[in-house]
Amino acid sequence: MEETRTVIFDLMRGSQAPISVFDDQDRLRFANDAFRATFDLAADAHPTWAEIMRSNWLGTRGTAITSADFEKWLTSAQSRRGKESFRGFEADMQDGKWFWMTETVGPNGWMLCIAVDISTLACADRDLRYDRDLALRASRTDELTGIANRRQVMEKLDELISGNAGGCIAVFDLDHFKSINDTLGHAGGDAVLIDFSRRVSGAVRRTDSFGRIGGEEFLFVMPQTPIEKALALLECLRQDLRARSPVPERPDFRYTFSVGITEVTPGDSTHAALSRADSACYQAKKTGRDRIVKA
């Protein structure tokens, strides 16, 4: 068995295809020379995927990121990354290469990534597939925040229910949002929605899903997560909002959220679980806001 492992690792290390493995926190744990060359990484570097993308964007190398708003692009990409047991997609690179990327996620949240150079494929066919992928992505992404939209995050809730493995879900509602819009204008309100989406997206695990389900409401799906762990994560998020203002022109401005959380158990239904979390969120707002209520 050990000999087989050695052979497999030697093959992966020597492959001309970029190969990498990321842990459940999306930190690089293994990368062959081809991957490190593609993304300009030192031999002993083990950054997170987000750090790789940010460094490459600043250095105009690696993945070709055409969005004018890098942070929005990153939030959107993270909302899709590793959320399926297997995913394949095409990616344009800064050096002109075109890769077919695959992500294979294990039960522990670790992910194997393999890229294959498909630059020789006909450009016309490639452009058609790229347009198709953009349209599919748009149908599952909230346009303002870049995170999952209602359709996508509800699908993840359905998967949690049908899987019968249990977990937790939470419904967020930003406090006094109408007042925020009245005070800061719609641009300020949008900045708050975007800021909140980015902060939560940066805290979710690979197995979690987070999306906007309407207005200032959001849904957080946490499979196989004990209620104590979920509550601790929500409290960390609640405290994090006090750290800085999302509006540069108003450094003194802060906002809060109310959240309802419930456990999902085998035999539960989507409607029942969502109703419990929603009712708990309503109780959080009714009893003073800026708090977490467990159903």
pLDDT at 246: 85
pLDDT at 123: 66
Distances, alpha carbon 12 to alpha carbons 44, 101, 115, in Å = 17, 16, 12
- Return the CATH number of the domain spanning residue range 2-139: 3.30.450.20
Distances, alpha carbon 85 to alpha carbons 42, 110, 128, 214, in Å = 29, 10, 26, 27
Tokens of 216: 């200032």
Residue 7: CB partners within 8 Å, gap ≥ 6?
A: none
Distances, alpha carbon 224 to alpha carbons 70, 228, 244, in Å = 32, 12, 31
Residue 186: CB partners within 8 Å, gap ≥ 6?
A: none
Domain segments of the chain as ranges = 2-139, 150-294
Residue with the two structure tokens 């959240």: 259
Asked if domains 2-139 and 150-294 share a fold, the reply is no
- Coil, strand, or helix at residue 205? coil
Q: Would you say domain 150-294 falls under CATH 3.20.20.220? A: no
The residues pairing with 222 across neighbouring beta strands, listed in sequence order, are: 168
The residues pairing with 152 across neighbouring beta strands, listed in sequence order, are: none
Residue with the two structure tokens 């490639």: 126
pTM attached to this predicted model: 0.77
Q: What is the mean pLDDT of each run of 10 residues along the chain (295 residues)?
A: 89 96 96 97 96 94 90 91 91 91 94 93 68 75 93 95 92 96 92 94 90 97 95 93 82 93 94 97 95 96
β-sheet with 167-174: strand ranges across = 209-214, 217-223, 167-174, 257-264, 292-294
Report d(CA 35, CA 18) in Å as an integer.
4
Q: Which of 106, 206, 223 is nearest to 163 (CA)?
A: 223
- Strand locations in 127-280, DSSP E? 167-174, 209-214, 217-223, 257-264
Give the side-chain half-sphere CA count within 13 A for 128: 5
Give the side-chain half-sphere CA count within 13 A for 74: 20
H or E stretch covering 113 = strand 111-117
H or E stretch covering 240 = helix 227-240
Active-site residue 71, yes or no? no
Tokens of 18: 């970029």
Q: Tell me, what amino acid is at 121?
A: L
CB neighbour class for 120 (10 Å; exposed up to 12, middle 13-18, buried from 19): exposed
Report d(CA 36, CA 67) in Å as an integer.
24
Q: Which of 216, 217, 228, 263 is catalytic?
A: 216
H or E stretch covering 86 = strand 86-92
